Structure 1
Amino acid sequence: MMMLIDGEWTGSCSEETYEVKNPANGRLVDTAPLGSAEDVKRAADSAHEAFKKWSELTARERGKILFRAAQRVREKQHELAVTLTMEQGKPLKEARDEIQGFANILEYYSGISAALEGRAVSLANGRHGIILRRPIGVCGAIIPWNVPAIIMGWKVGPALVTGNTLVLKPATTTPLTNLSLASILNASGLPKGVLNVVTGNGASVGEEIVRNPLIKKLSFTGSIETGRRVLQAASSSMKRVTLELGGSDPMIVCDDADIKKAVEGAVHGRFYNCGQTCTAVKRLYVFESIADEFVRKLRGRVERLKVGNGMEEGVDMGPLNNRAQWEQIKTLVDRVKEKEEGTVIAGGKVPEGETYKNGYFYMPTLVTDVAPDSALLKEEVFGPVLPIITVKGLDEAIELANGSKFGLGSSIWTNDIEKIRVACERLESGVTWVNQHVKLPPEMPFGGVKESGIGRENGLETIDAYCELKSIIT
């Protein structure tokens, strides 16, 4: 597999490569170039050169290219999903859904492209104003390994439709799907240099994207710790920054909730993608009057989940993506047991058997009686572990839910309109779902409050982040 720079497939300047392995069995999937700062500089120069002609096209013309790419992605959905499952680990059904989601995002930005040119305003005393949107220039994007296709769409769609060019860095463990999607975009009519993909590690490729003076805008998705470093480094050149830095989403189940629906919501919300989703349910608050019934049914449902290689039929949950993530989850649960920070009522171990010996598998885990100072409640747990906390009512649930440095997503499960109103007003999060969790249609802006990030992705709201606004007053 090669990098995409200046519309050409190329290796790294050093000609070094690294291996991409299947997290379910450790087998080699492919190799990718180990890119360097010099490769990023080449890509940024190419994007800078391509910017003038690309930005001179109308937004509608750019949107047509995105639409063609979306159609071709749909035609290759299965092929792309297989690649995604093999490098990331998620079940094939989830991978198909993610590829479809990427196409949906491109279609959305294609659909709104005709409305992006600007607007006129009537002013006092018969004067008029015109607000113009102009692209910023070369943009940078750094994406993680958990949902690499969707997050690529969040960055590529608005950046390109507004007339910017882009240098994108995939995660080291999941570059193959991103490179394949870039190839489809390129073949759908993107001029040379508009979209460049440089593979490699954060210390060289990521650092150069953050610091390169030709790159005027950066969108980063990752951890809080890395996000802080990105923000600090970008500030030296006043680079515009959008940061999506993860979360610890609370799910509140009220006493009038549809228990069957809420149980399914908790299972999907926590164990989808092996729990490796920024907006996954990571803290579950249940009213005490229904807690026993709810926990019993949830435990039964979780214990029926099939764990295995995502390419196998009927698998509900694949492996964690990499060894570091697997070790982090295993160590965390072991500590909970050793320090008696909670009671593990399901999972809490590595599955046994020949199927699992070479993969990063961990059983879906439920923990009750969680200590208030446990890392399960204080940190982002990026894996299949769900702490359950019993509360007396909505006020207590909201207070505990808000007692976190994170503020990405949240959900309320109830049929009471007043409870919905109170929760939506008081929960400190960028997104609040009602009787559902996780789904993020491209029409809706997405991002967090507090330490969960800066700015928004998706929707019309992200467009201005990729534009310079110019006011003309006559």
Structure 2
Amino acid sequence: MPTAPPRHDHYIDGAWVPPADGAYLPSTNPATGRVWYKSARGNAEDARRAVDAAATAFENPAWRDLPQPRRGALLRRFAELIGEHAEELARTETLDNGKLLTEMRAQLASLPEYFHFYAGLVDKPHGETVPAARREILNYTVREPLGVVVAITPWNSPLLLTATKIAPALAAGNTVVVKPSEHTSASLLRLVPLFEKAGFPPGVVNVVTGYGDEVGAALVEHPRVAKVSFTGSTGTGSRIAASCASRFVRTTLELGGKSPNIVFDDADVANASTGIVAGVFAAAGQTCVAGSRVFAQRAVYDEVVERVSARAGAIRLGDPLLPETQLGPLAIESQRDRVEEYVRLGRSEGARVTAGGQRPAAGPGLAEGYFFQPTVFVDAVNSMRLCQEEIFGPVVAVMPFDTEDELIGLANGTEYGLAAGVWTRDLARAHRVSARLDAGTVWVNTYRSMSPMSPRSGFKSSGMGIEHGTEAMREYTRLKSVWINTDEGPAEDPFVLRS
């Protein structure tokens, strides 16, 4: 008799808490198509409990009055615990969203860096002494934590994208409620008990799971929430921004992208082609910075198409747990279907497929999972929906250009402005083009390089606010100006003018 899949509850106030109405959601292993666990289906009552726990913890002297060096020590200890549990966390995330185990091991190896980096910043947000008109007046500024922060994260990189939010939030002294994607809650639920083990007081970090419209919206709308940090689609981000703006709640939004990857005719085409493949097919294209629009200058266009198509056709699909696999499944069935629909749309618009374009033929380990071949389009036009809308899958369109000015118009010709890649040996061109691109991150002769030290932001419909870097700490603080009159003499009569 088959064993029932395990059930995971919410994590609230340092304890596992069943959902208020007793409902659970199935989560499927995308490589097999089978349910492997169930997570709590949260509702407004669960959201209230989590926010109330976080608000109480924020006022608790055990957290509120914790000296900053001690707060940093807790973050460092937590980082060490991630390292100790890295293999378990990596395997869990692979089972949950289909990312390659080799990629997840590398990601988990770098994840502690985020907490170590912000542990070093806990005592760095200094205020200033401001000159005043009178010597008797002392005016200074201080940075304070905001309060309860809600972090809503997507299914493509649950642990990494959670770390980019909660590390600076905790370093600044806030408390946090995390709502992971209903499709990929397992890795975060395995991670969160490590906060207690590291010594964080109960309620400082809480996790509620479930659907966005049932528990996520209730978190966003809770009156005790001081900030919402969201990573996901532009449509959902817009709704969150509108809700928060009506109540003057701060937001950080990392949203969609349709990033250009640009190859000039003086570039090392072999390296550029490898960068294109890594930029759009890594993680099966399920990354907001995917370089899904490639622009190759006319003289190297054919070579770029040939190299990228050949490499795409040779990528090995299969079980993401196996070391020889190069591309795993899409994270959820509906996303595989969405990618398939966009490929049909691209063909109907007149673009032509030179590699991939369909589900793989049934083979060992491929029959039940949500796999789709890495796909290359040519004969595309930048105005096509294929080139304007975020697909979030292993699909790239390669288009030619002639002049630098033409290229800038094409590259900037979408509603998005998240990232861009530039491949050239010309140093002056690298700086010139980088300055003209509407993108919060520009990579030159590389793609998808990241560091907790380097800030990331989105332009246009790709979001607002900053993640990573020292600037992210400011996103989780408020600035207070304090005025002190040091003159102990009689107060001046306000109706008598001084000479």
Q: Same fold (TM over 0.5)?
A: yes
TM-score, normalised relative to structure 2: 0.92
Q: 2:144 is matched with which residue?
A: 134
* Alignment root-mean-square deviation, CA: 1.5
Give the counterpart of 2:475 among 465, 468, 474: 465
Q: 2:122 is matched with which residue?
A: 113
Structure with greater helix share of residues: 1
- Tell me, in whole angstroms, the C-alpha distance in 2 between the residues paired with 1:442 and 1:6: 28
1:230-249 to structure 2, matched below 5 A, reads 230-249=240-259
Displacement, 1:125? 7.3
Q: Tell whether 2:417 aligns with 1:410.
A: no
- Tell me, in whole angstroms, the C-alpha distance in 1 between the residues paired with 2:157 and 2:126: 31
1:439-450 to structure 2, matched below 5 A, reads 439-450=449-460
3-state SS of 2:228 partner = strand
* Cα deviation digits, residues 365-389 of structure 1 (max 9, x gap): 0001103331121111200000000
Unaligned runs of 5+ in 2: 1-7, 485-499
Please say which structure displays the higher CA radius of gyration.
2
* Cα deviation digits, residues 210-258 of structure 1 (max 9, x gap): 1000111100111111111111122232111111111111011111111
Displacement, 1:122? 5.4
**C-alpha contact (below 8 Å) 1:305/1:317 kept by paired residues:** yes
Distance change (3 Å), C-alpha of 1:124 and 1:412:
farther
Number of residues paired by the alignment? 473
Q: 1:35 is matched with which residue?
A: 42
* Cα deviation digits, residues 242-275 of structure 1 (max 9, x gap): 1111111101111111112111111111011100
Q: Tell whether 2:220 aligns with 1:210.
A: yes
**C-alpha contact (below 8 Å) 1:171/1:201 kept by paired residues:** yes
**C-alpha contact (below 8 Å) 1:143/1:152 kept by paired residues:** yes
**C-alpha contact (below 8 Å) 1:341/1:374 kept by paired residues:** no
Q: 1:353 is matched with which residue?
A: 362
- Tell me, in whole angstroms, the C-alpha distance in 2 between the residues paired with 1:169 and 1:370: 38
1:169-248 to structure 2, matched below 5 A, reads 169-248=179-258
Distance change (3 Å), C-alpha of 1:340 and 1:237:
closer
Q: 2:164 is matched with which residue?
A: 154
Unaligned runs of 5+ in 1: none
Q: Tell whether 2:393 aligns with 1:386.
A: no
Q: 2:262 is matched with which residue?
A: 252
- Tell me, in whole angstroms, the C-alpha distance in 2 between the residues paired with 1:305 and 1:360: 16
- Tell me, in whole angstroms, the C-alpha distance in 2 between the residues paired with 1:2 and 1:186: 16
**C-alpha contact (below 8 Å) 2:354/2:378 kept by paired residues:** yes
Q: Tell whether 2:346 aligns with 1:336.
A: yes
Give the counterpart of 1:63 among 72, 76, 79: 72
Q: Share of identical aligned residues, percent?
A: 37
- Residue identity opposite 1:438 in structure 2: R
- Residue identity opposite 2:256 in structure 1: G
- Tell me, in whole angstroms, the C-alpha distance in 1 between the residues paired with 2:133 and 2:394: 58
* Cα deviation digits, residues 103-149 of structure 1 (max 9, x gap): 11111101222213434455677676422011111111110001111
3-state SS of 1:20 partner = strand
1:40-59 to structure 2, matched below 5 A, reads 40-52=47-59, 53=61, 54-59=63-68
**C-alpha contact (below 8 Å) 2:121/2:171 kept by paired residues:** no
* Cα deviation digits, residues 158-183 of structure 1 (max 9, x gap): 11111111111000111011111111
* Cα deviation digits, residues 329-377 of structure 1 (max 9, x gap): 101111222x242110000010011422211100000001103331121
- Tell me, in whole angstroms, the C-alpha distance in 1 between the residues paired with 2:461 and 2:331: 24
3-state SS of 1:218 partner = strand
3-state SS of 2:478 partner = strand
- Tell me, in whole angstroms, the C-alpha distance in 2 between the residues paired with 1:131 and 1:423: 39
Give the counterpart of 1:374 among 370, 384, 394: 384
Deviates more, 1:170-179 or 1:25-34: 25-34
- Residue identity opposite 2:249 in structure 1: K
Deviates more, 1:18-27 or 1:205-214: 18-27
**C-alpha contact (below 8 Å) 1:47/1:194 kept by paired residues:** yes
**C-alpha contact (below 8 Å) 1:81/1:99 kept by paired residues:** yes
- Tell me, in whole angstroms, the C-alpha distance in 2 between the residues paired with 1:37 and 1:432: 40
Q: 2:495 is matched with which residue?
A: none
TM-score, normalised relative to structure 1: 0.97
- Tell me, in whole angstroms, the C-alpha distance in 1 between the residues paired with 2:310 and 2:352: 16
Distance change (3 Å), C-alpha of 1:129 and 1:460:
farther
Q: 1:26 is matched with which residue?
A: 33
* Cα deviation digits, residues 371-415 of structure 1 (max 9, x gap): 333112111120000000011132211110001100000111111
- Residue identity opposite 1:402 in structure 2: N
- Tell me, in whole angstroms, the C-alpha distance in 1 between the residues paired with 2:171 and 2:413: 39
Give the counterpart of 1:428 among 427, 438, 441: 438
* Cα deviation digits, residues 305-330 of structure 1 (max 9, x gap): 11112112211111111111111110
Q: 2:100 is matched with which residue?
A: 91
* Cα deviation digits, residues 183-226 of structure 1 (max 9, x gap): 11221111010001000101111011110001111001111111
**C-alpha contact (below 8 Å) 1:254/1:393 kept by paired residues:** no
- Tell me, in whole angstroms, the C-alpha distance in 2 between the residues paired with 1:313 and 1:97: 13
3-state SS of 2:150 partner = strand
- Residue identity opposite 1:109 in structure 2: Y
- Tell me, in whole angstroms, the C-alpha distance in 1 between the residues paired with 2:15 and 2:145: 24
3-state SS of 2:467 partner = coil
**C-alpha contact (below 8 Å) 2:345/2:386 kept by paired residues:** no
